[in-house]
């Protein structure tokens, strides 16, 4: 796309149409140029192209806050929530701790005043299969334990034995995000918190609108907040 002048919205749309048309012609050539490789997944490639054409206003910013295990009480995080989440909307939080943001809240630790005290994956399965909540939420909050060590610590506190698979945070994140994506309405917001900026990702149809780093000083890891919109 280098060297193409885009002066108006019409130029932009024309470029998009021409690029998709060119790709449609070149699929076979593309496969021929990649001998021994799996064929290009055309549907996925078109979806990614479509998303890459969406004009996105993406904000990056950084603030300081003292560390706090109540993530949503840190001022830069509370400000972010106030910016993107309407208190009047339906909000789900499978790892809520003491937070009162969600309309449907869960935490595995019964000490916290949540509506449900289930394992997050089990809770989300009930939301989808038992309680018919698919596509019902305007916002999903995703603030899980940030590392295998934190998962093990949460289980230790509630007296639950940890199996090897329990402490694989990548597996937990994937299983929750797949289910939360189904629970979220189109155009709804997913807010993720943790030590990386992966978020729900383009593969699930999300586009990033805002990344906020919350720096905690000294040698602490930042809390990385990612706000994404479900674009399809």
Ligand X SMILES: C[S@@+](CC[C@H](N)C(=O)[O-])C[C@H]1O[C@@H](n2cnc3c(N)ncnc32)[C@H](O)[C@@H]1O
CA distance 84 to 102: 13
| Closest among 51, 43, 15 to 27, alpha carbons compared | 43
CA distance 213 to 63: 6
Q: Which is nearer to ligand X, 19 or 150 (CB)?
A: 150
User: What x/- string results for residues 147 through 176 when contact with ligand X is judged by CB under 6 A?
Assistant: ----x--x----------------------
Tell me the window of 22-30, 41-49, 144-152, 208-216 that interacts with ligand X (CB under 6 A). Answer: 144-152
Q: Which is nearer to ligand X, 173 or 207 (CB)?
A: 173
Tell me the window of 64-72, 80-88, 178-186, 208-216 that interacts with ligand X (CB under 6 A). Answer: 64-72
| Closest among 166, 188, 186 to 122, alpha carbons compared | 166
Count of residues near ligand X by CB under 6 A: 19
Q: Rg of the chain's alpha carbons, rounded to an integer?
A: 21
SS3 1: coil
If you ran DSSP here, which 8-state letter would residue 165 be given? G
Q: Which is nearer to ligand X, 3 or 159 (CB)?
A: 159
Q: Which is nearer to ligand X, 58 or 70 (CB)?
A: 70
Helices 42-52/9-32 angle, 10° precision: 150
Does position 145 interact with ligand X (CB under 6 A)? The reply is yes
Residues that bind ligand X (CB under 6 A): 70-72, 94-99, 107-109, 119-120, 143-145, 151, 154
């Amino acid at each position: 796309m280098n060297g193409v002048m885009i002066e108006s919205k019409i130029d932009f749309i024309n470029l998009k149409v021409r690029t998709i048309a060119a790709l449609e012609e070149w699929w076979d050539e593309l496969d021929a140029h990649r001998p021994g490789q799996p064929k290009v997944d055309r549907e996925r490639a078109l979806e990614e192209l479509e998303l890459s054409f969406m004009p996105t206003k993406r904000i990056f910013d950084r603030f300081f806050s003292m560390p706090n295990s109540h993530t949503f009480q840190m001022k830069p995080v509370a400000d972010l929530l106030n910016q993107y989440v309407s208190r009047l909307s339906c909000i789900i939080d499978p790892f809520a701790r003491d937070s009162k943001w969600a309309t449907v809240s869960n935490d595995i630790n019964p000490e916290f005043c949540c509506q449900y005290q289930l394992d997050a994956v089990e809770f989300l399965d009930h939301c989808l299969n038992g309680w018919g909540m698919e596509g019902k939420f305007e916002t999903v909050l995703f603030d899980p334990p940030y590392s295998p060590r934190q998962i093990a610590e949460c289980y230790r506190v509630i007296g639950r034995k940890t199996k090897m698979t329990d402490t694989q945070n990548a597996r937990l994140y994937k299983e929750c995000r797949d289910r939360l994506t189904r629970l979220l309405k189109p155009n709804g917001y997913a807010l993720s918190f943790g030590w990386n900026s992966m978020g729900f990702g383009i593969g699930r149809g999300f586009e990033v609108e805002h990344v906020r780093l919350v720096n905690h000083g000294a040698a602490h890891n930042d809390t990385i907040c990612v706000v994404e919109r479900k674009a399809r």
